[in-house]
């Protein structure tokens, strides 16, 4: 039944898709590079940054994994590394013996505070300040749509 010929992308669609791929890769790479002087990469910063905003600076592993879009296994490994650096600690999750609560330490919070301005400047320079307010708003709508279309 379904046509065997796929619906190819129009010129505009293809340009958009290619620009998204290339631009996205370049952006992530640059943000990672900008974090090297602080001794971490973006995915690690995301973790301690999310923790710093959470109530009591703590989140359950599974919830955190969902927020930062990482596999449970990856978060386990990364959390172990962050723990070794003294930025987070593990504790049993109250009320559910399966859960683990990840908590930001004083040193971890200090690291977030130290890193945030530089990272923020990086995001501004490479993304936000390159766009008009209208583009920023549209980009937010687009990526929210994409994201929502992906949750299950």
Give the residues lining the site for a second copy (CB under 8 A). 6-9, 12-13, 15-17, 19-30, 46, 67-69, 116-117, 120-121, 123-124, 126-128, 130-131, 133, 135-147, 149-150
63/126 with CB nearer DNA: 63
| Window 100-139: contact mask with DNA (x via CB under 7 A) | x---------------------------------------
Residue 22 interacting with DNA (CB under 7 A): no
Three-state SS at 58: strand
3/84 with CB nearer a second copy: 3
Q: Which stretch binds DNA (CB under 7 A): 11-19, 75-83, 124-132, 144-152?
A: 75-83
CA pair distance 92, 81, nearest whole angstrom: 18
> Vertex 139, ends 137 and 50: CA angle to 5°?
90
Contact 77, 47 (CB under 8 A): no
> Vertex 67, ends 62 and 69: CA angle to 5°?
90
103/136 with CB nearer DNA: 103
Contacted entry of DNA, a second copy, none for residue 93, CB cut-off 5 to 8 Å set by kind: DNA
CA pair distance 118, 107, nearest whole angstrom: 18
Query: Where are any strands of DSSP class E within 30-115?
Result: 58-60, 88-92, 100-104
Q: Which stretch binds DNA (CB under 7 A): 2-10, 68-76, 113-121, 131-139?
A: 68-76
Structure tokens given for 64: 């955190």
């Amino acid at each position: 039944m379904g046509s065997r010929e796929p619906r190819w992308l129009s010129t505009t669609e293809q340009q958009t898709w290619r620009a998204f791929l290339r631009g996205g890769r370049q952006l992530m790479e640059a943000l990672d590079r900008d974090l090297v002087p602080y001794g971490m990469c973006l995915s690690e910063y995301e973790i301690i940054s999310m923790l710093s905003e959470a109530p009591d600076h703590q989140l359950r592993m599974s919830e955190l994994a969902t927020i930062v879009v990482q596999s449970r296994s990856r978060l386990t490994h990364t959390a172990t590394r962050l723990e070794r650096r003294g930025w987070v600690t593990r504790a049993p999750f109250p009320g559910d013996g399966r859960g683990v609560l990840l908590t930001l330490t004083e040193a971890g919070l200090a690291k977030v505070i130290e890193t945030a301005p530089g990272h923020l400047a990086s995001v501004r320079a490479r993304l936000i300040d390159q766009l008009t307010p209208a583009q920023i708003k549209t980009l937010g709508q687009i990526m929210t749509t994409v994201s929502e279309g992906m949750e299950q």
